Structure 1
């Protein structure tokens, strides 16, 4: 979860000012807030999430303690490829998450034949990632979805209109599942180069290579 720190700073002579930090991961925010409190000058300190909900330090620490045993800090990279000649689609997803103080990466792909366009393949890849998130047991948490499809990201976040009936069906399916799981989606558009892991998985699916793996990884990765 990404949050901002808001604090009221008071000088020794009583002058006050309110400061709001850049958005950062919750773990980093807690460390910084604890250090600020040691100065004795941060008189009112709170945290603000992307939904504009406000948290106290006590509430945030309790929340973090409660999710440690469950998959959290989940990021899903997705990509879909469509081969016009064969009419086959390849779907690829790489899911990163934390659990019990450890970091994991899950890779999944799938080949499908019932789609008609590359945009449909991109939506199907997103949906595949969402299904895997549900299988992990993730619910009532924020999840970041990362892709290079401007169409999918901008339509899901409401910035672009949807004219195609098939894409509208995908959006309805995805939004219903997000609501049912209580997942707050956070969307991020990246270049294809930065989405090469999911792209490679989608290509492997088109080439008949099936991938499904979960491994523990170093934090730096």
Structure 2
């Protein structure tokens, strides 16, 4: 979870002013706030997320303790491939997250027959990742979606218009699902090389090699 700090500073002679920080991870914001509090000159310390939800120091500590037991710090790599010969699509996603002070990786792929283009397969792969997030119980948290499809990433970021009816339907479906889960979505474009894990999962799906696994990631 990302928040910004808002606080009031008071000089020894009583002059006051209010400061607001840049956005940062809640854990870092807590450490800074606790250190600033020791000076005895800070008051009205508040933490605000990008949905304008507000917590004081005690409330955010409690919130962070609760988050520890749930999946958080979530990143999804997704990729889709379309085979013109078979008219089948392979979808792949790799989800990295933290829970109970441990790091995990979930790998999932699927083969589908109802799609008609590679771009649709890319959207469907991202949607597969969203479905897995819902099964994990991820909600009301920031999530980073990483893929190598310029079309999908730029359309979801609203940097590119979406003229194709089928792709517009996929974009609407994803935005609706993201909203339903209360997710603060960030979309990042990487090279194909930077997305090789999801690409491999999509390729395995086209070969009808089914992958569903969750494993702990050692530091």
The TM-score, its normalising length taken from structure 1, stands at: 0.85
The one-character-per-residue Cα deviations of 1:9-38 (angstroms, maximum 9, x if unpaired) are 444455555444343221222122212222
Alignment correspondent of 1:158: 158
Alignment correspondent of 2:118: 118
Matched residue of 2:158: which SS? coil
Unaligned runs of 5+ in 1: none
The one-character-per-residue Cα deviations of 1:165-201 (angstroms, maximum 9, x if unpaired) are 1112212322332333333323333333332221222
Relative distance call for 1:189 and 1:103 in structure 2 (3 A) is same
Which deviates further from its counterpart, 131-140 or 190-199? 190-199
Distance in 2 (CA, whole Å) between partners of 1:192 and 1:41 is: 51
Alignment correspondent of 1:187: 187
Distance in 1 (CA, whole Å) between partners of 2:21 and 2:192 is: 30
Distance in 2 (CA, whole Å) between partners of 1:104 and 1:2 is: 20
Aligned pairs, how many? 219
Unaligned runs of 5+ in 2: none
Alignment correspondent of 2:209: 209
The Cα RMSD (Å) is 2.4
- Cα offset, 1:158, TM superposition: 3.1
Q: Is residue 167 from structure 1 mapped to residue 156 from structure 2 by the alignment?
A: no
Alignment correspondent of 1:144: 144
Alignment correspondent of 2:79: 79
Relative distance call for 1:41 and 1:81 in structure 2 (3 A) is farther
The one-character-per-residue Cα deviations of 1:107-134 (angstroms, maximum 9, x if unpaired) are 1111223222221111000110011111
Distance in 1 (CA, whole Å) between partners of 2:174 and 2:201 is: 21
Matched residue of 1:39: which SS? coil
